[in-house]
Amino acid sequence: MKLYPIFADLTHRAVLVVGGGAVAERKIAALLGAQAQITVNADALTPQLRRWVNEGRIAYRADAFQDGWLDRIWLVIAATSDRELNRQIAAFAELRRIFVNVVDDAALSSFHVPAVVDRAPLTIAISSGGESPMLARLLRERLETLLDHSLGALATLTARLRKRIRLRHPQMAARRRFYEGLFAGQAATLLRQGRPRAALAAAEDALATASMELSGSVVLVGAGPGDPGLLTLRALRALNEADVILHDRLVSAEVLELARRDAERIEVGKQAGNHHTTQDDIHSLLLEHARAGKRVVRLKGGDPFVFGRGGEELEFLRGHAIPYEVVPGITAAVACAAYAGVPLTHRDYAQSVRFVTAHCRSSLDTLDWVALAQERQTLAVYMGVGELGVLQARLIQHGRAASTPFALIENGSRAEQRVVTGTLAQLAERAAGHAVRSPALLILGEVAALATSLAWFGQHPLGAAVHDIRDAAQLKPSSDRLSTEPGRHAKPQAHADLLVAIHRA
C-alpha cells in the first residue's frame, strides 16, 4: 500500500471517535492537540475520557452509533472492539466520502494515523503503509533520540523572523545560507539552553550583521567506491550544503541520491555518453559557479587525491583565489580490498602496498617494473582492465612469480560486485573469460589468495576452474604456503564452494 501523506488542519472541525477504551483515548489525546472539535461515542468511557467530557473538552454520545451523525463530520475514527460495527462505520464513511480510520485494520481505513515525532510546530510523521507498524515505531524512537526538543522553538523563532529574512535576503541561495547559519548558530544553542528571548536577540543580531555577499567556494569531496555507507560524515554534509555538484561518472547513483534535492548536478565524466569533458572544461565550470557565489562540490569517485587529478584542480582554484576544502574518500584499493576480504598488508605475506595506475601503454612504460615485481608486496592497480596482458607479461619478465595470486574486483562495494581470482599467469585470460569491465581494481600479491576464504560480500569469488586448481597446486611456492596454512583459507570445502560457484556462473 502506498499512501499519500498529508497533514490535516482539524482546528474547530468536527471529528467523531467511536469507542471509549484506551485506544480511543490515545487518538483523542492527539486530536485534542490539534484542537479538533471531538465527539466520542461509546457506552462506557475510560476515566480520562470521562474527565475530558466533564471539563467540556469533548462531547459525548452514549446512544448507539447512527450513520446520520457522519453528515457533519470531517473525519471518523472507529476504535471499538466490535469488528462488525467498525466495518459498518467504515462503509458509511466511504459512502459519504469521509476519511475513516479503523484501528488496527489498514484495509478498512481510508487514512492511517502515523507514528509521530512531535516537535510542534515541527512534526515528523512515519508510516509503513500498515505493513510494519513495529518498524515505524522503532524509527520514531530513533528519531526521538536524535532530535532535540528545542527544534520546535527554533521553528517558532524562524516563523517570527521569516518576513524580515526574506526582505533582507531576497535571493534563495543567500536565504538558504542564512538559515543554515541560524540553525547551526548561537540562537539554536540558546534555545537548547531554554533561553528563547536571548535566542531571538541573537537571531536578530545575526540578521542585522549578515553579509549580503555570497562567497563561492569549492569542496573537493571523495565519494568512495559506490556504497553510500562508505561516505564520510563530512562528505554528507558537503553534499547537503551544495548548490552545484560536479561529479564524475564513477560516482554511484546511490551517493548522488543523498545530495540536496535542489542542487544542480552536472556530470563531468570523461567518458560520459557522447560528450567529453576535458580537464580544462572542468576547471572553467568550477570557476564559473564559484564566482557566481555558489557552493560547489566537486565529487570524485574514491579519494580525490588518488588518481583523481584533485591536485590539478586545487592548483587551478588557488591560482584564481577561490577558497577550497578537501574531504577525503575511501579509495578503490582500500574499499575493494575490504569488500573482497583481501587484507592489503599481512604480517606473513606483504609488508608494503603500492597504488599503481596502468591506464595506457605510455603510463606502463614509465613504471619501475623491477620494483613492482618484488615479492612480499601488494600491488593495487587502478584503471588497468585494458592492459592486463602487458601487466602480466612485464611483471613475470621482471621476476614476479607466475604463481602469484590475484583478485580482480569489478564494481567493488556495489550490489553488482564481482571478484575474479587466479594466478598472475592466468590474469589476462581469466579477466577476458569473465568479461571484466571498468571500474575494476586489480590486487596482485600473496594476500590475494585470501579472497577465496575471507570473502563476505556479494557473490563468491569466481575462482579457478578444475584444471586451474590442479595447475596452481603444481606451481608456486608462495601460494602453496598460503593454501596449506591450516584453518585459514583455501580449504577443500572452499574449493568445493568455488566449483559450485563456477558451475552456476
Does 58 interact with ligand SAH (rule: CB under 6 A)?
no
Cell of 113: 494515523
Provide the grid cell at 433.
Answer: 573469460
- The secondary structure element, H or E, covering residue 203 is helix 196-209
DSSP class of 346: B
75 binds ligand SAH (CB under 6 A): no
- 348 in active site: no
Q: How many separate helices (H) and strands (E) can be counted in the chain?
A: 21, 17
CB of 121 or CB of 386, closer to ligand SAH: 386
User: What is the Cα–Cα distance from 416 to 426, expressed in whole angstroms?
Assistant: 23
Residue of 103, 336, 344, 482 interacting with ligand SAH (CB under 6 A): 336
In the complex, least distance from residue 172 CB atom to ligand SAH, rounded to whole angstroms: 33
Residue 248 is among the residues annotated as catalytic for this protein? yes
The yes or no reply on residue 409 touching ligand SAH (CB under 6 A) is: yes
Residue whose C-beta lies closest to ligand SAH:
302
Q: How far is CA 221 from CA 76, 142, 159, in A?
A: 51, 29, 34
The single residue among 14, 379, 383, 436 that binds ligand SAH, judged by CB under 6 A, is: 383
* Per CB under 6 A, 342 contacts ligand SAH: no
Give the interface size with ligand SAH as a residue count (CB under 6 A).
Answer: 24
The answer to whether the CB of 331 falls within 8 A of the CB of 306 is yes
Residue 119 main-chain phi, psi, to 5 deg: -125, 55
Residue of 52, 92, 316, 382 that binds ligand SAH (CB under 6 A): 382
Can residue 190 be called a binding residue for ligand SAH (CB under 6 A)?
no
CA-wise closest residue to 322 among 348, 355, 349, 284 = 284
**Residue 104: other Cβ atoms inside 10 A:** 14
Q: Which helix (H) or strand (E) holds 76?
A: strand 75-78
CB of 450 to ligand SAH, least distance (A): 18
Q: Give the residue, chosen from 441, 450, 455, 482, that forms a contact with ligand SAH under the rule CB under 6 A.
A: 441
Nearest to ligand SAH of 29, 415 (CB atom) = 415
Q: Active site residue: 105, 270, 471, 497, which one?
A: 270
Write out the binding residues for ligand SAH, residues 216-275 only, by CB under 6 A: 225-226, 250
306 binds ligand SAH (CB under 6 A): yes
Distance of alpha carbon 29 from alpha carbon 377, whole angstroms: 68
Task: Tell me the Cα Rg of the chain.
Answer: 32
Phi, psi angle pair for 393, to nearest 5°: -65, -45
Binding of ligand SAH at residue 349 (CB under 6 A)? no
- Catalytic residue selected from 227, 248, 303, 468: 248
Query: Is 300 among the residues that bind ligand SAH (CB under 6 A)?
Result: yes
Q: Is 378 in the site for ligand SAH (CB under 6 A)?
A: no
CB 152 within 8 A of CB 188: no
CB of 240 to ligand SAH, least distance (A): 22
Least separation in angstroms between residue 300's CB and ligand SAH is: 5
For 28, the grid coordinates are 483523542
DSSP state of 350: B
The residues binding ligand SAH (CB under 6 A) are: 225-226, 250, 300-303, 306-308, 331-332, 336, 382-383, 409, 411-414, 438-441
